[in-house]
Structure 1
Amino acid sequence: MSQSHKFFDRASIDNAAILLIDHQIGLISTLGESMNRAAVKNNTLALAKLAKAYNIPVILTTSNADGPNGPLMQDLVDMFPDVQVIDRVLINAWDDENFVNAVKKTGRTTLIMAGISTDVCLTFPAIAATADGYDVYGVLDASGTWNALIEQAAMLRMSQAGVKLTTWVSLSAELQRDWSLPTGQALAQTYAEHFHEYSVLMDLHNSK
């Protein structure tokens, strides 16, 4: 399939894997003006809950977890106790054989990625995986970096390389497609917990 045709594809529950890259305590503490830390944590957990709701394979990876980057967010460890965290010394996760083999093992060709930082931990593997023929979605609001200029540069670079840039809410709607599907209730619960504006709307509706 040509790259131009991939832009018109939709993410599918049956063909997606979610890759959470370097959501580490130390790295989160360095986030700057592009997005506040609480928002990144909230959106990352929401994305992780989509994986639970839709039974999508998850891959967790860290970079130099024993160093200043620190360990993975404990919430992610608790949410996926059976998923082995792949710790790397290679900066680009796509250069790590264990990481790529874990992706291949899922059998999925649509890769939903988020990472800290946006310009390194997300951009590098997203572009590399796209070059290898995967259909890659970069979830921007579950990622973050040092300032807005760096984030804009990363967005341009990924977009030019064919990475589809999105948010967790947009992605959730793309995966759900139809509110009447059985997963609709789990998605509504995720919105209630992580999408404040929509949770207010739900409360107003339920109070009638």
Structure 2
Amino acid sequence: MLSEEQTLLVVVDVQGRLARIVHESETLIGNLEKLIQGVQLLEIPIIWVEQYPEGLGSTVEEVAQYLTGLKPIRKVSFDACRNETFIQAVKATGRRQLLIAGIETHICVYQTSVGLKALGYEVQVLTDAVSSRTLANKEIGLEKMKSAGIAWTSIETALFELMKTAESDRFKQMIKLLK
């Protein structure tokens, strides 16, 4: 089970034109907005990476607007774990349970998830918060992650698992957010 004290969200490469052409891009972006607001409500830290932003562009505004106060970590490797700044940022949180969201499922999300698992982290991919240019590539990425021992979850499953109870104002806020 995910715990509020151990969970960290990693948002991978939701950038520029690529974010607009992935499979079901509007749904993905909307889901990422809800996810980010939900984890912020629960005070879960977020690390945000961008793949070669000089070429691919910045994180799309719909997502970036909720990441105020955070700075993206620039990377050029598909696996963010090959970037020392990223690894140090993850370690600095002290968190061991990582939720992964972003694009592309079969490339950067997959390689980063496998890299984090190899470093001993408990990694879960949010299936409704990842995408690729084609549905087939998204499915391939998810299957490869599952074969590597990376669990699948959904935004609602993760958020409610983290909340544990309906006995708080956070529950009411979360319900409003997810509608």
Band of TM-score, shorter chain? over 0.9
What is the CA distance between 1:117 and its match in structure 2?
0.4
- The aligned amino acid for 2:48 is L
Q: Please list, as runs of the form range in 1=range in 2, the aligned pairs for 1:180-191 lying within 5 A after superposition.
A: 180-191=167-178
- The aligned amino acid for 1:58 is I
Say which one has the larger Rg: 1
Matched, 1:135 2:126: no
* Consecutive unaligned residues in structure 2, runs of 5 or more: none
- The aligned amino acid for 2:147 is Q
Matched, 1:179 2:174: no
Q: Are the counterparts in 2 of residues 26 and 71 from structure 1 also a CA contact under 8 Å? A: no
Q: Are the counterparts in 1 of residues 29 and 62 from structure 2 also a CA contact under 8 Å? A: no
Aligned with 2:155 (options 145, 165, 168): 168
Equivalent residue number for residue 41 of structure 1? 29
* Consecutive unaligned residues in structure 1, runs of 5 or more: 1-9, 193-208
Equivalent residue number for residue 119 of structure 1? 106
Aligned with 2:96 (options 90, 103, 109): 109
Matched, 1:95 2:86: no
Matched, 1:14 2:5: yes
What is the CA distance between 1:149 and its match in structure 2?
2.0
Q: Are the counterparts in 1 of residues 39 and 159 from structure 2 also a CA contact under 8 Å? A: no
The number of residue pairs the alignment matches comes to 179
Equivalent residue number for residue 53 of structure 2? 65
- The aligned amino acid for 1:55 is E
- Cα RMSD of the aligned pairs, angstroms, is 1.3
- The aligned amino acid for 1:96 is N
Q: TM-score, normalised by structure 2?
A: 0.94
- The aligned amino acid for 1:16 is T
Q: TM-score, normalised by structure 1?
A: 0.82
- The aligned amino acid for 1:14 is E
Equivalent residue number for residue 206 of structure 1? none
**Percent identity of the aligned residues?**
22
- The aligned amino acid for 1:121 is C
